[in-house]
Amino acid sequence: MQRIHCGIVPPHLLTRLAALQDPRLSGASSAARHALLELDPVLRERSEALRAPVRRGSAIAGSLTRRIHDAGGREELPGEVVRAEGAPATGDVAADEAYDGLGSTYRLFSEEYGRSSIDGAGKRLDATVHYGSNYDNAFWDGERMVFGDGDGEIFGRFTASLTVISHELTHGFTQYSTNLEYQGQSGALNESLSDVFGVLVEQRDLGQDAASAAWLVGAGIFTPSVRGEALRSLKAPGTAYDDDVLGKDPQPATMADYVETTSDNGGVHINSGIPNHAFYLAATALGGEAWTGVGRVWYDAVLSGTIPPDCDFPTFAQATQDAAGRRFGVDSREAGAVAEAWTRVGVLR
């Protein structure tokens, strides 16, 4: 079965940029057209492989091992090794940001949840920076992280945002834990899990509690010319950007505004706003460190064995309720907050 290439920039944004006629943004338009072409035959063919074996165990079986490559502006992977585990900083900002971001993501899963790397078996974390020329995306290809440097007009370098790094690497965790199909509601859950654990990595790194956190995915990758904070907001889906060039963030926060579409694999980057917001509501209702409360519930649910590849929102909501009950008690504040959050977004009644 084919492994899906998961990029941080949604196809609807690339499509909008690709259609630009403004000569002042010709670089961004050209970069977006190229990124769209890469999304279809090239990377899908490159990432063809049998699905990864599911590993639900969480015993520590190794230590953090990273390897950063530099593609040198070419679209050839993996590129030249520029930093291995334990080596000093290179002075290349993108390479060192990738190295640090992989480490922060590993430490969340290892130190908080007891999982040895994304696969539960100590997998080495690989990344390639400086992929392509003005490449407008970052992606997980099933084996490694890959980062473009952006077009310089709309997007800057993609390693500038820790949530981009942790979001994309979490696709690897999902690949090795649930293998959620990248279509419709299961695909939206796939994207949502990456957003959820992506922001948790950042919050833990910064020592933020649920109330003080930004709850943004992709903050820092837009150039100053863009009117927007980030690609997505878990706190307020639909408000991350509102720009003359990019348009308005289309994410819904509740099922009342669920988007029926055949594009973007059934709106996986759009409708992920609904489970995202449910997580935010539960986390802020409880307060404190989100990664130790509701984060543990979501992690437990993913590894519970009750999440089918074609999981829909109600099934996932029930899995998180069950996980909260097992970990904290069926009458706990945590279980109540999870149930209330899914009710408020319209998934449960």
Which residues are the active-site residues?
A: 168, 269
Hey, what's the torsion of the CAs at 330, 340, 174, 139, to 10 degrees?
Answer: -160
Q: Could you identify the residue written with the tokens 């996986």?
A: 268
Write the CB contacts of 7 (distance below 8 Å, at least 6 apart in sequence).
35, 39, 137, 138, 139
Instruction: Specify the DSSP class assigned to residue 42.
Output: I
Cβ-based neighbour number of residue 101 at 10 Å: 28
The region that residue 65 occupies, defined by phi over 0 for left and psi between -120 and 50 for alpha, beta otherwise, is: beta
Cβ-based neighbour number of residue 263 at 10 Å: 14
Structure tokens at 19: 């259609």
Question: Is the dihedral angle over the CA atoms 33, 126, 169, 108 positive or is it negative?
Answer: negative
DSSP 2-15: BPPPEESS-HHHHH
Residue 100 phi, psi dihedral angles, 5° rounding: -65, -40
Cα three-residue angle 340-283-173, rounded to 5 degrees: 110
Q: What residues pair up with 129 in beta bridges, in sequence order?
A: 70
Hey, what's the torsion of the CAs at 255, 260, 266, 269, to 10 degrees?
Answer: -50
d(CA 249, CA 252): 9
Q: Express the helix, strand and coil content of the chain in percent, nearest 5 each.
A: 45, 10, 45
Instruction: Specify the DSSP class assigned to residue 29.
Output: H
